[in-house]
Copies of this chain bind each other. A is one copy, B any other.
Amino acid sequence: MPSTTIDTVGNWINGRTATSDSPDATNVYRPATGEVTKRVPAGSRTDAEAAVAAAHRAFESWSATPPHIRARVMFAFRDRLLADIDDLAAIICDEHGKVLDDARGELQRGIEVVEFACGIPDLMKGEFTENVGTNVDGMSMRKPLGVVVGVVPFNFPAMVPMWMFPIALVCGNTFVLKPSEKVPTLALKMASMLADSGLPDGVFNVVQGGQTVVNALITDPRVEAVSFVGSTPIAEHIYRTATESGKRVQALGGAKNHLVVMPDADIDSAVNALMGSAFGSAGERCMAISVVVPIGDEVAQAVRDRLVERIAALRVGAGTEPDVEMGPLITREHRDRVISYLSAGVEDGAELVVDGRDRCDGPGFFLGASLFDHVTPEMRIYREEIFGPVLAMVRAESFEEALELVNDHEFGNGTALFTADGGTARTFISRVRAGMVGINVPIPVPMAFHSFGGWKRSLFGDHHIHGREGVRFYTRYKTATIRWPQGRSSAAEFVMPTAK
């Protein structure tokens, strides 16, 4: 394919498309075929500054707009998302590779946050105390921060940005989004849909690119807060760098989500759940299950047997084809990296029960589902996030041992327990050191009106994302104490004032 036919995607600044001044660009692939479909600019500091400047200019007027008027942009945006959901899903499928139904599911979860954001006028309300002291009233309110930045990963081109900007915008902030350079298109699509929904120019901006852009954004003195979703090392870097320059940060990192199967669990349900949650979206989800912990060898054997059978029947192919269950990985490099874990697991002594490399033929970035058994906590395939269709079985003797496994892992994003027993479930929910817990639910992503986020090295910052946590993250607390003149002044108060 001659390079002259390949377009380079642009930025979206101040309500219109803008061209990056960066001469460098990287390829965007169609993972199902390996073709280069577009190029994305590497981005520059001036690109970032232009976006921040636009957002900064737009802040005063947008933040002074009544909250319910801001919310109406989201009502309109929701309508457009629903109207275009098939087109948007096709873009996701094309650039990311996931199957169409999964892409629609992602959009649906994003729309739920948009719906939540429509209710923010109520949730932003401040507080008022009459007579906090005699004839003195106290108030508090939550004010938007200013310019806020979102830096997002490739695996959810629509949903993860929508965890951020709908809430940030309705709270009165202006926004700069830095999409993944692997999936640059959907952000631009959403930008123009927001504009069509009535969002004023400059309130939402998109800058394409890589590290240069990110570093420019997270150190710009006009930026007040940064939301990030990606891998733990980058999350930690973002958190450290942006907090160092005094910004508010929520940085969501990696995961190693365990699913524990109790002997009283419905094994068919559990295996069913494992298939979808380990191999759906080719395992490229921070909420994917990558470790299964059956309690006792009998459960382990039953789970293993059925998994082997199910994996054999798994339909791998292009996400656009009907009935396909698992698409390709995002890039050839990433597939190679996942494959290297298969070797590492074998070297470390795990049993590779099913080897997904059998399905690596063809130009697309495909890799079949893999299953390891007899994995132990020291192995790299247990300690590190693989982000591919690889499931590791760690056998445990008891519930307590399984709980300890989850709690001792560096990551604490999500986890699941399959059981029918109320007491076991309660103990797990209470004691497990993870941010999101599922009981007989393999991917316990909270609804939009609850909030998403992990514990330990899966999240850096005080606030989880979206829901009421998001409203608080994107607003700053202010109080007022008010006394009106009433008659004459008396002696000065040299002592600490206390309400009487």
Contacts and interface: CB of A to CB of B under 8 A. Distances in A.
A84 interface: no
User: How many A residues are at the interface, by size bracket?
Assistant: 35 or more
B498 A479 contact: no
Interface stretch (A137-145, A204-212, A339-347, A357-365): A137-145
A341 to B, nearest CB: 21
A464 B477 contact: yes
A127 interface: yes
Interface in A114-131: 115-116, 118-131
Contacts of A490: 272
Contact of A243 (B64, B101, B240, B436): B240
Contacts of A434: 478
Contact of A482 (B64, B425, B500): B425
B499 A68 contact: yes
Candidate in A72, A140, A489, A490 with the most chain B CB atoms within 10 angstroms: A140
A462 B463 contact: yes
A372 B66 CA distance: 38
A216 interface: no
Nearest to A137: B426
A109 interface: yes
B69 A500 contact: yes
B494 A429 contact: no
A492 B422 contact: no
A269 interface: yes
Contacts of A449: 68, 121-122, 125, 129
A140 B268 CA distance: 28
A400 interface: no
B481 A441 contact: yes
Interface stretch (A21-29, A373-381, A401-409, A468-476): A468-476
B131 A64 contact: yes
Interface stretch (A5-13, A31-39, A181-189, A274-282): A274-282
**Number of identical protomers:** 4
A371 to B, nearest CB: 14
B244 A240 contact: yes
A447 interface: yes
A482 B416 CA distance: 10
A95 interface: no
Contacts of A444: 479-481
A118 B273 CA distance: 31
A173 interface: no
Contact of A108 (B127, B272, B496): B496
A334 interface: no
A178 interface: no
B68 A109 contact: no
A422 B131 contact: no
A150 interface: no
A489 B270 CA distance: 9
A133 interface: yes
Contact of A450 (B78, B131, B138, B492): B138
Contact of A420 (B130, B469, B485): B485
9 tightest A-B CB contacts, nearest first:
A119-B119, A105-B496, A423-B484, A422-B422, A275-B492, A122-B449, A444-B481, A268-B489, A126-B128
29 contacts: A66-B499, A66-B500, A68-B115, A106-B496, A109-B498, A119-B121, A121-B447, A122-B467, A127-B128, A129-B450, A240-B243, A240-B244, A244-B244, A269-B489, A274-B492, A275-B492, A276-B492, A277-B493, A420-B423, A423-B485, A423-B486, A426-B484, A437-B481, A441-B481, A444-B479, A455-B476, A462-B463, A464-B477, A472-B472
Interface of A: 64-69, 71-72, 75, 78-79, 99, 101-102, 104-106, 108-109, 112, 115-116, 118-134, 136-141, 159, 236, 239-240, 243-244, 246, 248, 265-266, 268-269, 271-277, 279-281, 310, 325-326, 419-423, 425-426, 429-430, 434-441, 443-453, 455, 457, 460-464, 467-469, 472-473, 476-486, 488-500
